[in-house]
Structure 1
Amino acid sequence: MKRFLIFAVKTLVLLFLLLVVLDFLYTTVYVQSSNRGKIDYVYNSAAREYDVVILGSSRANNHFVAPMFEEKGLKTFNFGMSGGHLFEASLLLKLMVERKYTIKNVILEADLNLSNEKRDEGVSSRFLPFIHDSKTIRNHFLKEADFKELYYIPFYRYVAFDSKIGFRELYKTVSKEPTTNLAHLGYYPLVKKKGNMKNNLTNLKPLRNKYYEEIKQLCKDNNINLIAVMTPMCTNTKGLNYFEKVQQCYPEIYNYEKAVEGDQYFSSCGHLNDTGARRFTSVIIKDFFNR
């Protein structure tokens, strides 16, 4: 029995040490990467200057054509992230400020994402390799229900989010496999082929969203002009009065839900195709950046 206990203790100690070593190796790789996605692109950078930074979910990523801003002489990058919530948008802006970015304008897609304060598991996991290296990231996750496991258990985060930051992504990062995440200045164009052209927003309710409030405060504290907008939806959507509720909650958010109309401009009910995105971006440039 004594031998068994000694063996069990040794096994547990070795397992713990293995987890520590693996955690260190994975983290070392990720903290040196800057070309796989928008999060590491920001994290491993310093003091960039932008006239326009775009933040939000896929409804930012697919709707704002960053090269069109550049054609007007506005240095721009679209940091919208498919699936992302305001939780991730706020944290990304915090990292930019921490790295002393000079930003004149932030265009924030603030519409459907106002209805929750949850993190997106997939997108937020991309920040986790840096959680021990960054107080900003640690503090942002501090009140999450699984923070203790993510922060204190070696290698746990890499196992829990294996599909996003596990071995496969590690290998691609080491081999410097290119992605499309940073192409077109962060804008991701959608093809004309239509997906689901129906949507129902009836049960959505905009919140006094803490992460939207964080973004507003960050912009105010750093002399950044915040342009918060609601972006187009297809006409075959139930509960479009959601956008009116957003303006009642936050009158400063500009309602562009009807800025582009016609199914031919949509890839799915909530996402413009490339043609629609270009029409929408033209409207935004005309309304806010007409020189």
Structure 2
Amino acid sequence: MKRFLIYTAKIILIVMLLAFLLDGIYTAIFMQSRNRGKIETVFNSKSEKFDVVILGSSRANNHFVSQKFEDNGLKTFNYGMSGGHLFEASLLLKLMIERKYEIKNVILEADLNLSNDHQADGISSKYLPYIHNSDVVREHFSTQDNFKSLYYIPFYRYIKYETRIGFRETFFTAVHKKTNALDNLGYYPLKKHRNGNMKNNIVALNPLVHNKYYEEIKNFCEANNINFIAVMTPMCSNVKGMNYFDKVKKAYPEIYNYENVVVEDKYFASCGHMNDAGARIFTARILKDFFKK
């Protein structure tokens, strides 16, 4: 029995040492990543200067043409991320402030995601390699139910989110394999697809009366003298429950409603995402209303 216990203890010790070792190796690799994604690029940068920073989900990523801002003399980057929620957008802005970014304007796509204050696991997991190296990341995750296991158990976060920050992603990061996330100044243009879903139903959606992460973004902008512009972006004409946008306007009167600026189906790749032609019309309107006087 004694030999069995000693053997078991040795196995546990070896596993723990391997976990600490692998955790350190994976984290060290992510700590030098600068060309694969938007989160890694922000974390491993410092003192950037922008006239315009764009935040939000895919409805930001696909709707704001960064180059059109640049053509008007505004240094701009689109940090919208497909699948992201306001949880991740707020954290990204906090990281920028932690990295001493100088930002004049933040444009936030704030519409459908106002209906929840949850994290989007697929995007939020991209921050986890830095949870021990950033006070901002640690504090942002500290309110989540699984924080202790992610923070205190070595290598657990890399196992739990293996498809996002596991071996494959770590390997590609180590060999500096680029993605298209940083192309076009962060803007991802969509084409018109024959099979695009041109119907949508948002009847069940309701904006939260108080969305914690929207308020965080707004307050961080105010505290850092950043002009905050929150907008609702277009959807196609075949949407049930379009009164959702009226509910948003009632709950958050400072948010500008642009959901009906572009409505023709020919300008959409799917009901919730404009194609490149639609995005250019929309971006021109944003420039005209906020940046051309």
Q: Does TM, normalized by the shorter one, top 0.5?
A: yes
Identical pairs, percent: 63
**Counterparts of 1:284 and 1:95 in 2: how far apart (Å)?**
26
The match for 1:287 is 289
In structure 2, the residue corresponding to 1:245 is in which secondary structure?
Answer: helix
Q: How much does 1:197 deviate?
A: 0.9
> Residue 201 of structure 2 corresponds to which residue in structure 1?
200
Q: What's the CA shift for 1:249? A: 0.1
Aligned residue number for residue 215 of structure 2: 213
- Read off the aligned partner of 2:89 and give its amino acid letter: A
- How far does residue 34 in structure 1 lie from its aligned partner after superposition? 1.1
1:159-198 C-alpha deviation (Å, 9 max, x unpaired):
0000110000011001111110000000000111141111
Equivalent residues in 2 for 1:213-252, closer than 5 Å: 213-252=215-254
Residue 40 of structure 2 is aligned to residue 46 of structure 1: no
In the aligned structure 1, how far is the partner of 2:219 from the partner of 2:54?
Answer: 17
Once the 2 structures are TM-superposed, how far is the Cα of residue 70 of structure 1 from its aligned partner? 0.2
Alignment of 1:66-145 (within 5 A): 66-145=66-145
Q: Give the ranges of 4+ consecutive aligned residues of structure 1 lying more than 3 Å apart after TM superposition.
A: none
Query: 1:11 is matched by which residue type in structure 2?
Result: I
Structure 1 Cα separation of the partners of residues 101 and 173 of structure 2: 25
Distance 1:261 1:172 in 2: 40
Compute the displacement of 1:100 (Å).
1.1
CA distance in 2, matches of 1:99, 1:156: 27
Q: Secondary structure at the match of 1:113?
A: helix
2:205 maps to amino acid? L
Structure 1 unaligned runs (5+)?
Answer: none
The alignment's C-alpha RMSD in Å is: 0.6
* Match in the other structure for 2:11: 11
What is the distance in 1 between the residues matched to 2:149 and 2:103? 35
Counterpart Cα distance in 2 of 1:217 and 1:3: 60
5+ residue gaps in structure 2?
none
Counterpart Cα distance in 1 of 2:34 and 2:178: 11
Give the Cα–Cα distance (whole angstroms) in 1 for the partners of residues 62 and 146 of structure 2.
31
One-letter amino acid of the structure 2 residue matched with residue 270 of structure 1: G
